[in-house]
Amino acid sequence: MSQDTLFDKVWELHKVASLPGGSDQIFIGLHLIHEVTSPQAFGALKDKNLKVKFPNRTVATVDHIVPTDNQSRPFKDNLAEQMIDTLEKNCLEHKIKFFNIGSGKQGIVHVVAPELGLTQPGMTIACGDSHTSTHGAFGAIAFGIGTSQVRDILASQTIAMNKLKVRQIWCENQLSNGIYAKDLVLHIINYLGVKAGVGYAYEFAGPAISALSMEERMTICNMSIEGGARCGYINPDEITFNYIKDRLCSPQNENWDKAIKWWESLQSNENSIYDDVVKIDASKVEPTVTWGITPGQSIGINQKIPSLREIHANDQFIAGEAYEYMGFKPGQPIKDTPIDVCFIGSCTNGRISDLRVAAKVLGEHKIAKNVKAFVVPGSEKVAKEAKDEGLDKIFLNAGFQWRDPGCSMCLAMNSDKLVGNQVSASSSNRNFKGRQGSPSGRTLLMSPAMVAAAAINGKVSDVRDFLKNE
């Protein structure tokens, strides 16, 4: 059993009680809600005649269903309008802070909370969304929950949960030029498999992790859940503190020094004991692309799609399904696979640094004919920063569409969808069957830089070819 890791310390600090069945009652410091997984929870409160216990510990925004082409109200889609309307009413009735469209603070919940300084080390953070693991990048214990648990947090600010085991993923050496956090996390998920994290929290550590910016760390922790770990985290350090400083909700003045002192005390250290430790050599990571229907089915840009013989017996069934669904053959290279749609955005890679990297690759290039490409900034703040830097012009000039913030084609709950069996190069997090809105649509996950390269060439390309003259 793990001891003295950041996870253990934060868990113990938030433990309210041991419940009769043996699970722990855990206090949730920050509860984030959005329009898709909260209405039924508010409905349940109403049915039971309950109030929200601590309304100021819950923060709301709207992201999953918002259109990205025209956000004026009412939305064209009646169901989407009904959902945002329900969220507005629930927040008003229960006095919950809501960052609505046009507030300058709306966006994907996992982009918004960090940029407002809401996300801080040592907190427990929960949201009815599996990518809540993103917030672990700050040394918070953050995880996705279902609607019944949203109800429980609204009613009691706590949930019943069994403590997770802790696996440290030690990333040695450094990523090479043209290799990004997305490549590293896809590599890790491929190496460990999509279910290795079940029952675990992942602690990402080592020189390759310490060197990452906060936004890159968020990309890593965001995809913990794709490796089966509902929680992933990174110990907070100077990079974390510098990111949080002077944000809207961060500790101010004399509280700032107290906060840093406390945050530093939470770090895992040489006395920490883990349930498991895995080592990864970051210098071996290549630009990585998925070829299948799980985020674990990925290869380096110069590798070939593996044959059944090269795949572990336990993964052969899903590999067979992947060949058939994707229309790819074992032994086929992934490089030069034709692309129909390019999507840059999502809670994984829709932040300002992602847009900067993609814009740099684009430069003066134009995207290939027949490719539809669009950028969906992760938040209104990201959109504004990008415009201030002129990034929108670079994307538009290249032939990308510039959209308004939201989850968009990551899960295709709005009108941004693949059509038929189109192939998308996507900076998002899931390549599941039908994930991007068409029951036969095909998704290749990659870094935003790789998406930009694919857009220029109209096919899967090695982004390093665009960075050679640096």
Residues 391-450 binding other proteins (CB under 8 A) are 411-413, 430, 432-435, 437, 439-440
Q: Which is nearer to other proteins, 308 or 396 (CB)?
A: 308
Tokens representing 107 are: 């966006």
Is residue 115 a contact point for other proteins (CB under 8 A)?
Answer: no
Question: Shortest gap between Cβ of 75 and other proteins (angstroms)?
Answer: 11
Among the residue ranges 39-47, 326-334, 387-395, 456-464, the one whose residues contact other proteins (CB under 8 A): 39-47
Pair 346, 427: CB distance under 8 Å: yes
Question: Shortest gap between Cβ of 38 and other proteins (angstroms)?
Answer: 9
Which residues are bridge partners to 343 per DSSP?
Answer: 374, 426
Is residue 326 a contact point for other proteins (CB under 8 A)?
Answer: no
Is residue 232 a contact point for other proteins (CB under 8 A)?
Answer: no
Report the candidate in 329, 345, 323, 458 with the shortest Cα–Cα distance to residue 405: 345
Question: Shortest gap between Cβ of 325 and other proteins (angstroms)?
Answer: 9
Is residue 129 a contact point for other proteins (CB under 8 A)?
Answer: yes
Q: Which of 59, 91, 181, 186 binds other proteins (CB under 8 A)?
A: 59
Per-residue string for binding with other proteins, 5-24, x by CB under 8 A?
--------xx-xx-xxxxx-
Is residue 294 a contact point for other proteins (CB under 8 A)?
Answer: yes
Is residue 54 a contact point for other proteins (CB under 8 A)?
Answer: yes
**161-180: which residues touch other proteins (CB under 8 A)?**
161-162
Question: Shortest gap between Cβ of 45 and other proteins (angstroms)?
Answer: 9
Q: Which is nearer to other proteins, 143 or 466 (CB)?
A: 143
Among the residue ranges 215-223, 252-260, 274-282, 382-390, the one whose residues contact other proteins (CB under 8 A): 252-260
Report the candidate in 250, 221, 268, 197 with the shortest Cα–Cα distance to residue 30: 250
Q: Is the dihedral of CA 400, 405, 408, 411 positive or negative?
A: positive
Q: Which is nearer to other proteins, 115 or 392 (CB)?
A: 115
Is residue 92 a contact point for other proteins (CB under 8 A)?
Answer: no
Is residue 77 a contact point for other proteins (CB under 8 A)?
Answer: yes
Q: Which of 67, 122, 139, 377 binds other proteins (CB under 8 A)?
A: 122
Is residue 103 a contact point for other proteins (CB under 8 A)?
Answer: no
Is residue 1 a contact point for other proteins (CB under 8 A)?
Answer: no
**342-371: which residues touch other proteins (CB under 8 A)?**
none
Among the residue ranges 299-307, 312-320, 345-353, 361-369, the one whose residues contact other proteins (CB under 8 A): 312-320
Is residue 146 a contact point for other proteins (CB under 8 A)?
Answer: yes
Q: Which of 4, 55, 71, 82 binds other proteins (CB under 8 A)?
A: 82
Question: Shortest gap between Cβ of 15 and other proteins (angstroms)?
Answer: 8
**197-216: which residues touch other proteins (CB under 8 A)?**
198-199
Upstream peptide bond of 67 is cis (omega within 30 degrees of 0): no
| 437 alpha carbon, distance to own chain's centre | 19
Q: Which is nearer to other proteins, 198 or 308 (CB)?
A: 198
Q: Which is nearer to other proteins, 240 or 461 (CB)?
A: 240
Q: Which of 80, 175, 285, 358 binds other proteins (CB under 8 A)?
A: 80
Among the residue ranges 154-162, 278-286, 368-376, 388-396, the one whose residues contact other proteins (CB under 8 A): 154-162
Report the candidate in 418, 364, 354 with the shortest Cα–Cα distance to residue 386: 354
Report the candidate in 280, 218, 269 with the shortest Cα–Cα distance to residue 8: 269
Question: Shortest gap between Cβ of 72 and other proteins (angstroms)?
Answer: 19
Report the candidate in 465, 463, 456, 466 with the shortest Cα–Cα distance to residue 371: 456
